[in-house]
Amino acid sequence: MLQNKYHIGIAAAALSVGLISAVPSIAQSPISFTDQKKKTIKLNKPVTRVVTIPIPAASMFMAVDGGTKRLVGMHHLSKTAIKGNILQKFFPDALNITSNIVGKGFTFIPNVEELLSLNPDIVFQWSHLGDDIIKPIENAGMKVASIRIGKEAFTIKWLQMMGAMLGKSEKTDAMIKWRHDTRAMLAKHTSGIPEDKRPRVLYFMNYLSKLRVAGGKSYNNFYINLAGGKNSAGGLGMFAVVSAEQIIAWNPEVILLNGFERKLSPKDVYNNPLLADVSAVKNKRVYKMPLGGYRWDPPNQESPLTWLWLSMVLHPEKFSWPLRKVMDEKYRFIYGQGLSDGDIDAILKMKMNGTAANYRIFTRQ
């Protein structure tokens, strides 16, 4: 029953969204919006040259714009989520976009000389990591749009900003409505799950280099709760490095592995002798997060799919959303291109996760 009701809803939504997105956008001039440092940004016309330093922002910008023609620079870790995955198939030119705008590794310190050479109309940068990564860009005469991470409301603001600067607010309004509708629908079905029926979940932001988990202030905590779980590390802050002894004490029933460490797989957890007695290991409930247009673990344009997927992982006996069908419908809306069964298998990591408990619920029918 849940599956049928939801399928009817998403079919109707896809139709209405398709109609909205088909209507040409009429951009008003000048354009004005407020970023997430509460700074008003004014533009004379829709942007034509944009750089995204925050890692999830590149694929979101391409999703809103429907292509790559206005994105001239991105973080190199944004490109690793594109290469060899569905976004490369959709937009192969994305691999030609400059990605040496910051230093190596997980850094956001701008390469100002490289940014200047790109002549951007605007540069996206994180707002919560200090002025040291913003001021050099502004001092060089470039406009900066600051964004924050951690809450769903912040992600909605990203979409609103991108829609405004591109003159495509109709599309971003529809994308936001999908998020609101899916969140409300899922919360209706998970809010009544009693505490003792909510699996203990632990998300690893890092595993191979160090044991770093998502705490109560993270976006991961938000969707773990929404999907009907409880975060074992919920008492910590955003992210925290922990010991194997702490993980054993928490005894998580489900473990989620990040999409940033490319070589990381559930086998790395199953083969760790220190974690052999952890519930998630003993019961084969360790899952690599899917990777679609972007990694599904941080906030992105496909987050409602993450929420549905995780609710099925946590409660396979309770939820049977038509996820594969929803994915195809929403990709057609977001990117203008549909998915093959093979595409969906790759996004959901069917080969890597296939032997995990209950993952057969995601197999093609």
Q: Does residue 149 lie in a domain region?
A: yes
Q: Do residues 212 and 341 share a domain?
A: yes
Query: Phi, psi at residue 302, to the nearest 5°?
Result: -110, 15
* pLDDT grade for 21, boundaries at 50, 70 and 90: very low
pLDDT band at 150 (very low <50, low <70, confident <90, very high): confident
> Which pLDDT tens digit goes with each residue over 293-330?
999 999 999 999 999 999 999 999 999 999 999 999 99
If asked whether residues 265 and 118 sit together in one domain, one would say no
Cα–Cα distance between 232 and 148 in angstroms, integer?
24
Joined tokens for residue 34: 């407020």
CA distance 109 to 111: 7
> What SS3 state is found at 55?
coil
% the chain with pLDDT above 90? 88
Residue 69, in any domain of the structure: yes
Alpha helices, DSSP H, located in 195-320: 219-226, 244-250, 266-270, 279-282, 303-314
Is 237 found in the same domain as 120? no
CA contacts within 13 A on the Cβ side of 147 = 30
Q: Supply the mean pLDDT for the chain.
A: 92
Q: Assess if residue 1 is contained within a domain.
A: no
Q: Of 10-19, 129-138, 276-285, 341-350, where does mean pLDDT reach its minimum?
A: 10-19
Query: What confidence tier does 28 reach under pLDDT thresholds 50, 70, 90?
Result: low
Which residue in 300, 313, 146 sits closest to 219, CA to CA? 300
Residue 19 pLDDT exceeds 60: no
- Same domain? For 137 and 232 the reply is no
131: how many CB neighbours lie within 10 A of its CB? 11
Average pLDDT over residues 259-283: 97
Q: Region 210-230: what's the mean pLDDT?
A: 97
Same domain, 99 and 229: no
pLDDT band at 3 (very low <50, low <70, confident <90, very high): low
Contacts of 236 (CB under 8 A, 6+ apart): 213, 215, 216, 242
The CATH number covering residue 234 comes to 3.40.50.1980
Query: Is residue 71 included in any domain, yes or no?
Result: yes
Task: Please list the residues that pair with 257 across neighbouring strands.
Answer: 204, 288
219 and 342 in a single domain? The answer is yes
Domain count, the chain: 2
Domain containing 90: what range? 26-167
- State which of 133, 167, 201 marks the end of a domain: 167
Chain-centroid distance of CA 21 in Å reads: 21
Residue 84 has pLDDT above 80, yes or no: yes
Clarify whether residues 146 and 235 are in a common domain: no
